[in-house]
Structure 1
Amino acid sequence: MTVDYSIYLVLAAALVALLSSALRILREYERGVVFTLGRFTGVKGPGLIILIPIIQKMVKVDLRTFVEDVPSQDVISRDNVSVKVNAVIYYRVIDAERAILNVEDYHAATSQLAQTTLRSVLGKHELDEMLAERDQLNSDIQEIIDSQTDTWGIKVANVEIKHVDIDESMIRAIARQAEAERLRRAKIINAEGEQQAAEKLVQAGEQLARQPSAMQLRYFSALYDIAGEKTNTIVFPIPADILAQLTPGKRPPEAP
């Protein structure tokens, strides 16, 4: 009887092991790539999957979005400036069959491709473009990586450049360049203001020249503005013709 029970226990254990190897449960975001005697026979899931023990094998594939931190890369820009750049890439598997059959490790392959693409793309741009046109660079890198990972069944959703680290001496040089640029703009604005003021003065002079009495009124208006400050002493010339009119019996000197 003891021998009979041991046989039943062995059979029960074998049956449990057989069922555990034959029954698989895949979550909603998982797919199973099934191989029968080493040959690809289909993609199954999600839910309950029944496999033929020993004959069939299954490889799970996660369809959720992966976030890959691209390590800091040494990049030499087109204007020969050495910088360190790191980024983050968001991608997911859209074809489980190609992700398993066409590449050994799609995670490592995507990471290495992102590193090389980051160096090659940024090396074609100057430092100012790296700092000012980051959105365009992100789009260019994402497009290149996505086109090359398409054969692996990978969809690259987004690429973001995180940091552009610059040497301390280069930071000082950029600060001096920015200061010089601000001075240049200030001088240009000042010169444009002087030019506009000169044009307005010419127009005002032309209008005043049409009526001599208008010049006298403008002259008295300027004196009135100066007289507002009581601490000032005002000395102004009086035309000879006005003095002749104010002094009886005297005529203004004739012009030679």
Structure 2
Amino acid sequence: MEAVIVLLVVVAVIVGIVGLLNSVRVVKQYERGVIYRFGRVNPLPKEPGLRLLTPFVDRMTKVNMQVVTLPVPAQEGITRDNVSVRVDAVLYFRVVDPIRATVDVQNYEFAMLQVAQTSLRSIIGKSELDDLLSGREQLHEGLELMLSTPATGWGVHIDRVEIKDVALPESMKRSMARQAEADRERRARIITADGELQASQKLSQAARTMDANPSALQLRLLQTVVEVAAEKNSTLVMPFPVEMLRFFERAAGGGATSGTGTAADTGAAVPVAEQAAVPAPVEEPAPEVAPSAERAELPAPGLQIPDPRTPEE
């Protein structure tokens, strides 16, 4: 009898230990526990910490409340301007209502993946190629709005959704490269023409300034000579300008009355009055030549001229 009592006590202790181990649950900080009692869900999920359940009665399902990063597979589609593209995206979401995420939908992660794929295909068909390449912010907002409608009923909050990559056909890439090259060439030609216009305006202004002061032209010439001579790889032949001679004459105080050289030696122009005073050179008549001396006598017509060669020749 005593053995039976001891056996019952041992069995009770074992059952109690098993029930205690079965009723003790640890909920982590980033989790929430959904309790099912006889198949009915408890409206209040368990908070993080050590939790005791009713043995053999309660069942608990843990729901992760962290942000889930869900990559959306690449989807092929045709844009509104008839360009075939391949677009992939990434979705960031988290569970805000663990009761609805476990009761209202069977697998919320798989459901969100399918909704993201269909929404991405829909947004590709409604957009143009330029919007997919440059105006992605509006597309992200449109995708988030399309995903938020079913996600709200599943207790899921969409943090953000972004398009990762847009794959284009090789022919379209070449066409876009040619377009970009043509646009850059156009801008380069416009910039070059604008530079030539500004340079011509400055050169015209400089020409007017040098015309008002001839010495500036000589200084510019000397500066050009210095620039060419700095290279030391060419021979420069520089004519001596007449204006420089005049400058030296004025510096020496010679002017038109001093100096031994004439106007023809210095290259200066002779005044009109001086040209009138110079006597004109007298042309000498050519000597007359007698026609008889110049011309040889020609044989009369009809006469035969003897051959001076001998028969032996």
Greater relative contact order (Cα < 8 A, sep 6+): 1
Deviates more, 1:133-142 or 1:104-113: 133-142
Q: Return the TM-score normalized by structure 2.
A: 0.63
How many residue pairs get aligned? The number is 247
* Structure 1 residue 249: Cα displacement: 4.4
* Structure 1 residue 172: Cα displacement: 2.0
For 1:188, the equivalent position in structure 2 comes to: 190
SS in 2 for 1:44: coil
Q: After the TM superposition, which residues 61-100 of structure 1 pair with which residues of structure 2 at under 5 Å, given as runs?
A: 61-100=63-102
Whichever structure has more strand as a proportion of its residues is 1
For 1:213, the equivalent position in structure 2 comes to: 212
Decide whether the 8 Å contact of 2:34 with 2:98 is kept in 1.
yes
For 2:173, the equivalent position in structure 1 comes to: 171
For 1:29, the equivalent position in structure 2 comes to: 30
> What amino acid maps onto 2:35 in structure 1?
V
Q: Deviations over 1:7-55 (max 9, x none)?
A: 5565555444443443322222221122334333221122233333454
RMSD: 3.6
In 2, Cα distance between equivalents of 1:86 and 1:18: 49
SS in 2 for 1:123: helix
With over 3 angstroms needed to count, the CA separation of the structure-2 counterparts of 1:8 and 1:220, relative to structure 1, is same
In 1, Cα distance between equivalents of 2:197 and 2:238: 30
* Structure 1 residue 186: Cα displacement: 0.9
Decide whether the 8 Å contact of 2:89 with 2:165 is kept in 1.
yes
With over 3 angstroms needed to count, the CA separation of the structure-2 counterparts of 1:247 and 1:28, relative to structure 1, is closer
In 2, Cα distance between equivalents of 1:252 and 1:136: 90
With over 3 angstroms needed to count, the CA separation of the structure-2 counterparts of 1:247 and 1:26, relative to structure 1, is closer
For 2:126, the equivalent position in structure 1 comes to: 124
In 2, Cα distance between equivalents of 1:202 and 1:181: 32
Q: Give the one of 75, 81, 106 matched to 2:108.
A: 106
Deviates more, 1:228-237 or 1:193-202: 228-237
In 1, Cα distance between equivalents of 2:271 and 2:181: 68
In 2, Cα distance between equivalents of 1:226 and 1:49: 95
Q: Return the TM-score normalized by structure 1.
A: 0.75
SS in 2 for 1:246: coil
With over 3 angstroms needed to count, the CA separation of the structure-2 counterparts of 1:136 and 1:56, relative to structure 1, is same
SS in 1 for 2:272: coil
Q: Deviations over 1:55-93 (max 9, x none)?
A: 443322111222212111113223322122222222221
* Structure 1 residue 100: Cα displacement: 2.0
* Structure 1 residue 173: Cα displacement: 2.0
With over 3 angstroms needed to count, the CA separation of the structure-2 counterparts of 1:143 and 1:236, relative to structure 1, is farther
